[in-house]
Structure 1
Amino acid sequence: MPRHTPLHLALALTLVGVTVAVPAGPAHAADLADTFDGATVGTTPAGWTVGGGGGDATVADVAGTGDRSLRLTDTSTAAPVTATRSFGVTSATVVANARLRAAQTTAVVGLHLDSVAGHTVTVAMDGAGRLYTYSGATRVDLGAYTANRWYDVRIVARPGTSTASVWIDGQRRATNLSFRVGATSLAAVQVGVAAGDTGTAWVDDVRTKTEPNPVSWPQVGTVAPRSAAQIGSSKLIVGAETLDRDYTDYQSYKGYLGPLGATRARFQAGWAKTEKVKGSYDWAWLDTVVNDAVSRGVRPWLQTSYGNPIYTGGGGAGLGGQVPSSAEALAAWDAWVRALVNRYSDRVDEWEIWNEPNLGGVDTTVYADFLVRTATRVRAAQPGAVIWCCALAGVERSYADAVLTRVRSLGKLDLIDGITYHPYNANPDASYEQVRLLRVTADSFSPDLLIRQGENGAPSRPNSFGALGELNWTELAQAKWMLRRTIADLGRGISTSVFSISDLHYPSKVNSKGLVRTGTDKKVRYAKPSYYAIQSAAALFDDTMTPINGYGYTDDTTSPVAVQAFRKSGTGRQSVALWFNSATPGDDNTRTPVTVTFSAGSFADPVYVDPRTGAVYDIPAANWSQSGTSYTFTGVPLYDSPILIADRSVIGL
């Protein structure tokens, strides 16, 4: 088949566009979530309309995955085939997501957000192996694609400004795109194979979410994501655990690591996975992970865990297990730790010793002695290593106190740099009195002893495995929870790890705390809203944004409000995060206008930012005033997810 010229491509998609028919939808804009998994193979799924006349669109099994998707088959070179799903006419911002796959690189396959005037925003695959979109009538290249590979597509379309942004596989590839046609509202999502081509396309996980503008203030842009390599230095970490037990698939999610913006990742080094034959180490799996993460600007933070069942008394090989105990097992542990640190010391400078010993009921003296034993070997191999202890399940400061008391009695406190903890609370804001007391405990041993939030997250769906899994979570509630934990920690100067980059497939259930959703094959299906929320937070709060303690704040609401303020190094300009913090985040985005006053502010050009959506709005002069260092802002829309009042200079647009 001949390769398409750009003119041919434009005409091909226009042929689909001129006959757009928006099926009747609900009276008001609705959120869609079509996975097709419950639909009958060979049928057109409910709510979808097939058009174009060039073929059909039916549900089909995806070989080797246990998944079902919508498959479009175009058998005509004279007509297209389309599948359209209405979500109701809305003038609000629409966030549309879908997985898209072409069975060939010789046909034009398009994913569109439609208005009654036609294709308003398009992401397409051309007949020459290129992904592309449009800004107005101008084609914008998005990079190469390959046949039979799923692409995670996200479109944020803003009828209020007639602009859109496009993400592919978690990376923003284009922004401030002009709509292809004049439109003040959107009504449907469509996928199609263009006229003039034959071919097969697959679409899955079609999700649309309307995001009504929180204010009438003019939107001035969106937060610009920055990769880990671009950020360079921050206190934001992402969890990448359980590779040692093969509960996740690094090769599937690795492309999402760098674009997220977290500059470190927590990995479990996996003694049992590395030493399957006594005295023989197979480092290939961990070499791949460490080297790839470093290449993406993400520094690994390695945990020495768990035990190894090839040794009698080798300790538990998973969560809640006992530490190695026999002489043979401890000697083998020592040898593995030395080899581990020697192998990776040029790429890894932070180490954590065991995971949640208190969860497994490991005696504090046993753990303390094991900690000193291991830390001694780490420090001998890498004198400048940063060594973290405890990895507490919850914030059990009594356990940490007993461990460190024992370490101090042995004269080895200098081996330890900090304490890590895992504060799983349904309301993430409910843990900070415990965290304050943990800080008091740490100070009682040394004011130089750090604390780190080492593992924390919320599920994205009900009936999830692990902590908080019993609650009725949604992807929206998860995104809010993740933002509240992250910004509250950073606002206190605490390095913080988001658990986890990927859903985790335990033997019995899926732990849905991942920022990316995975299927039964552990392959990535799509980045969740929480991924994009944390991506914004990473871009907004690097190490040039320092927390301000005791920030002066008043408001006119009776609801409790969390306040975390930051100052930009060099300029002193501020970014202040605010949110209602009295309850677990919910699925309602209703906002309450609040008047807030900052007694020691520093703003030249204030804007309103919602990190969850990435939207940035100008604050009109009528809505803010200044008297010396006191700034008052009126009509600020607050809800149970963080918003920012920030100087425009500290927001990358």
Structure 2
Amino acid sequence: MVTPSSTPYRKPFLFLMAGTLVGSLISVASAGQATAADVTGDFDTAAPGTTPAGWSVTESGGDATVQDVPGTVDRSLRLRDTSTTAPVTASTTFGSTSSTVVAGFRLRAAQTSATIGVHLDGSGGHSVTVAMGTDGRLYTYDASRRIDLGVYTADRWYDIRVVAHPSTATAEVYVNGERKAGRLAFRTTTKTLGSLQAGVSTAGTGTAWIDDVRTTTESMPQNWPYLGSVAPRTAAQVGASELLVGAETLDRDYTDYQAYAPYLGRLGATGVRLQGGWAKTEKTKGVYDWAWLDRIVDDARSRGVKPWVQLSYGNSAYDGGGGSGLGAHLPSSAEALAGWDAWVTAMVKRYKGRVAEWEIWNEPNLAGIPVADYTDFFIHTATLVRAEQPKAVIYGPAEASIDVPYTQNFLVKLSDKGKAGLLDGISYHPYNPNPDDTWTYGQVEKIRALITRYAPGTVLRQGENGAPSRPGSFGALGDLDWTELSQSKWVLRRVLNDLGRGISTSVFSISDLHYPGKVNSKGLLQTNTDKSIRYAKPSYYAVQTAASIFDSTVKPLPGYHWSATPDTSLTVQAFAKRGTGRQIVGVWSGAARPSESNASTPTDLTFTDGDFTDPVYVDVRTGAVHDIPAADWSVQGSTYTFKDIPVYDSPVLIADRSTLTF
């Protein structure tokens, strides 16, 4: 569901500086909490040929200045080394910290014959390095040992993420959303990190570009020992789960599947929502071009992601064909309905060996389609689907918000016509500023009651939901101020709320969506103006962690008994590992929509039906796993008490260590 609102796209450039912050500071940590500072301003605003504010450069072997990137509309920091006897470096500081440092940046080389490095530095020098070598390989270090990260290509951007832990002198490195190396020992031992440096080696000559530098710090909870981070798993490795991701609007070319395809399987979500695109497939009456959808369906399946295809929208090639976008009306003329029937039949016949789940139309209530008309249309279309694919799983009506009256009327009419057997699932799209809003799940329970009465066995699915990552975004919730931090919290809270209630749930969307003249920033991936992927947002890595943990081997525990002191409007969702019964309990403050502060409240938690052998603390947003010392928890029978658990407005887990891979 969308509402009109937009502002021009601006890429973020985020960094922390010692003593002085360049740009507009959104939030800063207080003692004992994770730092999350967003600084507006980027290389695009700097004049070509200048040194960007907040950076210091060494130019004895060349120059380091902001320049327009050839062949793009981008402006980035260019390091050009023209000497074999002197280096070129550029560095920015974020203040000495013993906390975990998360550094994101994009890196590009103009050639594969120079050594280019980006370093996180402490008092002893380079502690963590990611480099592009003279052999065309990306690499890092485990202590002094070189670790290969794969091939790189000249004039191509690489999305790099480094997570460095001074407490254990270890780091993880990600490239294009994939964790390439974990538990790397620092090159130089240090208790603190303080700066980021990019450079071209002294011995060689060449040109490098760096952009979108984003550095934040995350404090350790209670100084508990850091054990590692949750290991991401691909969709193929996860196998099955109730966590899906949206890939909507490909039928209108508002996103580019080929651009984000490598990130899709790496996310770990095991299903993807696609819109079938009658208008895109049949541009000339009676002539179908399936090539675009074949590529997407086959590629997604090859990555272990099962397509869930929506049959929509209309087709303007036919008079009365209905609209071909959001808010569109159903096809109405006899000719258009005949065209629809032919397309649906051909679609299901073509993909029935590759697609098991179908959804009929999108948000008919938003478009003002009378429920009687939608019900007849659903019955007609579902009958066509079942004729070609008897075991197809069919969803409807994909409502905007949670429209209980619309759902009730639909189910009553479906039942009265004796067609409830055509329906396998009800999907809905709830957009609330606070994902813990009690109204939402109150409406969900009403729909569940209606299902029990009129269509027993039908399942519920949250089919489209997300939050923007910047203020002024187009679409639902776009009128509120958002950042990449608040987006990641919001998404996790929705996911765990749904999974904890046994609802399959889809995150909207895999990448930002480029509607005509405006951008919907709900994507887990930041995009360029040409829809190519710029970098994975924090929400991508947060969902990656959730996907790794909450697979089909984990079941929700409804009615879980707990108490807390203080009880600051907490949300608790409990799960257990099938087979062992060992538990994973999610806890967070659900009193308000996510904030820009990561300040936590020490909270005593009691679980009267607990089952833990070796409990650990997990921050799902960061993936960090910490030991809970024996002094901070106790057990009597099945009652477990945990003391001073740091709780904030993003999900943390008390999980048995056996339930995690890290």
Aligned position for 1:615: 624
Instruction: Tell whether 2:489 aligns with 1:475.
Output: no
**What is the TM-score normalised by the length of structure 2?**
0.94
Aligned position for 1:397: 404
Among candidates 196, 203, 215, match of residue 196 of structure 1 = 203
Aligned position for 2:324: 317
- Residue by residue over 1:276-318, the C-alpha shift from the partner in whole angstroms, topping out at 9 and shown as x without a partner, is 1110011111111111111111011000111000100001110
Among candidates 639, 644, 648, match of residue 630 of structure 1 = 639
Instruction: Tell whether 2:54 aligns with 1:60.
Output: no
Among candidates 638, 646, 650, match of residue 655 of structure 2 = 646
| Mapping of residues 281-320 of structure 1, within 5 Å | 281-320=288-327
Does the Cα contact within 8 Å between 2:36 and 2:598 map onto a contact in 1? no
Whole-angstrom distance in 1 between the partners of 2:314 and 2:38: 45
Whole-angstrom distance in 1 between the partners of 2:197 and 2:513: 32
Aligned position for 1:553: 562
Structure 2: tracts of 5 or more residues without a match: 1-15, 22-27, 29-34
Aligned position for 1:19: none
| Mapping of residues 150-189 of structure 1, within 5 Å | 150-189=157-196
Whole-angstrom distance in 1 between the partners of 2:583 and 2:86: 56
Does the Cα contact within 8 Å between 1:110 and 1:191 map onto a contact in 2? yes
| Residue type of the alignment partner of 1:182 | T
Residues 441 and 62 of structure 1: CA distance in aligned 2, closer, same or farther (over 3 Å): farther
- Residue by residue over 1:478-511, the C-alpha shift from the partner in whole angstroms, topping out at 9 and shown as x without a partner, is 0000000001100111000000000001113110
| Residue type of the alignment partner of 1:346 | G
Does the Cα contact within 8 Å between 1:30 and 1:88 map onto a contact in 2? no
Aligned position for 1:570: 579
Aligned position for 2:493: 484
Identity %: 61
Deviation at 1:397, TM superposition (A): 1.3
Q: Please, what is the CA RMSD of the aligned residues? A: 1.4
Structure 1 runs of 4+ aligned residues shifted over 3 Å read 22-35
Deviation at 1:114, TM superposition (A): 1.1
Among candidates 75, 100, 103, match of residue 96 of structure 1 = 103
| Mapping of residues 446-525 of structure 1, within 5 Å | 446-525=455-534
Partner-residue secondary structure (3-state), 1:533:
helix
Does the Cα contact within 8 Å between 2:139 and 2:147 map onto a contact in 1? yes
Residues paired across the two proteins, number? 632
| Residue type of the alignment partner of 1:244 | D
Does the Cα contact within 8 Å between 1:32 and 1:206 map onto a contact in 2? no
**What is the TM-score normalised by the length of structure 1?**
0.95
Whole-angstrom distance in 2 between the partners of 1:336 and 1:190: 56
| Residue type of the alignment partner of 1:540 | I
Does the Cα contact within 8 Å between 2:271 and 2:308 map onto a contact in 1? yes
Partner-residue secondary structure (3-state), 2:223:
coil
Residues 154 and 448 of structure 1: CA distance in aligned 2, closer, same or farther (over 3 Å): same
Instruction: Tell whether 2:52 aligns with 1:45.
Output: yes
- Residue by residue over 1:204-225, the C-alpha shift from the partner in whole angstroms, topping out at 9 and shown as x without a partner, is 1000011111221111111011
- Residue by residue over 1:451-479, the C-alpha shift from the partner in whole angstroms, topping out at 9 and shown as x without a partner, is 10000000000000000000000100000
| Residue type of the alignment partner of 1:264 | G
Aligned position for 1:7: none
Does the Cα contact within 8 Å between 1:224 and 1:652 map onto a contact in 2? yes
| Mapping of residues 350-499 of structure 1, within 5 Å | 350-430=357-437, 431-499=440-508
Among candidates 565, 579, 603, match of residue 594 of structure 1 = 603
Whole-angstrom distance in 2 between the partners of 1:328 and 1:410: 25
Does the Cα contact within 8 Å between 2:36 and 2:596 map onto a contact in 1? no
Does the Cα contact within 8 Å between 1:83 and 1:190 map onto a contact in 2? yes
When structure 1 is superposed on structure 2, of 54-63 and 345-354 the one drifting more is 54-63
Residues 65 and 521 of structure 1: CA distance in aligned 2, closer, same or farther (over 3 Å): farther
Does the Cα contact within 8 Å between 2:17 and 2:95 map onto a contact in 1? no
Deviation at 1:24, TM superposition (A): 6.2
Partner-residue secondary structure (3-state), 1:287:
helix
Deviation at 1:343, TM superposition (A): 1.0
Among candidates 218, 228, 235, match of residue 221 of structure 1 = 228
| Residue type of the alignment partner of 1:459 | P
Instruction: Tell whether 2:95 aligns with 1:79.
Output: no
Deviation at 1:111, TM superposition (A): 1.1
- Residue by residue over 1:411-446, the C-alpha shift from the partner in whole angstroms, topping out at 9 and shown as x without a partner, is 211111011000000000112111111211222212
Does the Cα contact within 8 Å between 1:54 and 1:74 map onto a contact in 2? yes
- Residue by residue over 1:142-188, the C-alpha shift from the partner in whole angstroms, topping out at 9 and shown as x without a partner, is 11111111100000001111110000000000000011101111111
Deviation at 1:521, TM superposition (A): 1.1
Residues 352 and 64 of structure 1: CA distance in aligned 2, closer, same or farther (over 3 Å): farther
Aligned position for 1:231: 238
Whole-angstrom distance in 1 between the partners of 2:132 and 2:206: 12
Q: Which has the higher contact order (CA 8 A, sep 6+)?
A: 2
Instruction: Tell whether 2:559 aligns with 1:541.
Output: no
| Residue type of the alignment partner of 2:265 | G
Instruction: Tell whether 2:239 aligns with 1:248.
Output: no
Whole-angstrom distance in 2 between the partners of 1:104 and 1:63: 14
